[in-house]
Amino acid sequence: MTTRRQVLAATAGAVLLLVTTASSASTAQPGTDARPAVAGCRVFPADNDWNAPIDDLPVHPRSDQWLRHMAPASELHPDFGPSFGAPPVPYGIPVTVVGGGHRKVSVRFHYASESDRVRYPLGSDTKIEGGWNADGDRHAILVDKSSCRLYETFDTRRRDGRWHAGSGAVWSLTSNALRTDGWTSADAAGLPILPGLLRRREVVVEQKVEHAIRFTTDVTNRRHVWPARHDAGSVSNPAYPPMGARFRLRASFPLDGYRADTRAVLRAMQTYGLVLADNGSPWYFQGESTRGWPTRMLDELKTIPARAFVAVQAGRLMVDPDSGQVG
């Protein structure tokens, strides 16, 4: 499973930006489109960057350079699915749904100046990545179904009756607002995690994925590009990809012969692409932690070569640098 522990340790002494809360550039109400919802909430407006097709965008001029530094001889790795060893829960990042009456608690953040210091609906019902006793990133993703509000924390722990986390961020799922530029989130790129997770229902049941997918690589540049708001790279070299970089599976990649659920994921990679959101193992992409992911589908996805991807000029979709709305 992916981890940011080494990156955070290396950057713990960095000066954090003391700025105000995220500005809102554009707000939209949930529509009647057919996109799968989480707890009845659409995951950001239909014109949000996560939901934007990129199949007709030009290839980025640094595509070849970036790919050369991203283990180009490797294959994709679905970082979710059944656990066959010690982990008590399936691999992946779980999502906890709460109601408006759920008790909210204060959280002590390590990166407090870049976190949303509000009360979070954490409790004994909270699902933590890997389980409550796990190592690793320990993400907690919570959706308040009454307000369509998204809460995300990184390195989430409860000690001596108090909640602690490395960082935390809150979004309205009906808004295109981005975080303050320079702020992290529960992800190194300062982006929300939920919209980039593959969800079992959309893949296995609906067989239609209509959003970009979150993924990681090991070495990134110390910069970020829209819509990312933060970076945690280990090199200052434009030949390495920045946080927020968008990649797509080549349209010429043949889908014949794959299972229907595998094709649904591959079509999403061709149409909506992958968003570089964190430091971790190269070409690991994420899905929700749940039972029922087909092992044969996961095995097929592990055969897709990294060389079948290109980086694209996603910045051409930007309407406002402080908004995730696309034009």
Structural domain total, the chain: 1
Which 8-state DSSP code applies to residue 178? Answer: P
Strands 140-144 and 149-154: antiparallel
pLDDT in tens, the chain (327 residues): 444 433 333 333 332 332 333 333 333 344 446 566 899 999 999 999 999 999 999 999 999 999 999 999 999 999 999 977 666 789 999 999 999 999 999 999 999 999 999 999 999 999 999 999 998 999 999 999 999 999 999 999 999 999 999 999 999 999 999 999 999 999 999 999 999 999 999 999 999 999 999 999 999 999 999 999 999 999 999 999 999 999 999 999 999 999 999 999 999 999 999 999 999 999 999 999 999 999 999 999 999 999 999 999 999 999 999 999 999
- What's the pLDDT tens digit per position in 253-293? 999 999 999 999 999 999 999 999 999 999 999 999 999 99
Q: How far apart are CA 230 and CA 160, in angstroms?
A: 31
Q: What is the pTM of this model?
A: 0.89
Q: How far apart are CA 284 and CA 286, in angstroms?
A: 7
Q: Is residue 13 assigned to a domain?
A: no
Q: How far apart are CA 209 and CA 50, in angstroms?
A: 11
Q: Is residue 28 assigned to a domain?
A: no
Q: Is residue 50 assigned to a domain?
A: yes
Is the CB of residue 128 less than 8 Å from the CB of residue 99?
no
Is the CB of residue 224 less than 8 Å from the CB of residue 230?
yes
Q: From 285, 239, 233, 237, select the one nearest 67 (Cα to Cα).
A: 239
pLDDT of 34 reads 57
- What's the pLDDT tens digit per position in 38-62? 999 999 999 999 999 999 999 999 9
pLDDT of 84 reads 75
Q: Is residue 322 assigned to a domain?
A: no
pLDDT of 83 reads 78
Q: From 310, 308, 307, 311, select the one nearest 72 (Cα to Cα).
A: 307
Q: Which domain holds residue 184?
A: 38-317
pLDDT of 89 reads 85
Q: From 141, 120, 144, select the one nearest 130 (Cα to Cα).
A: 141
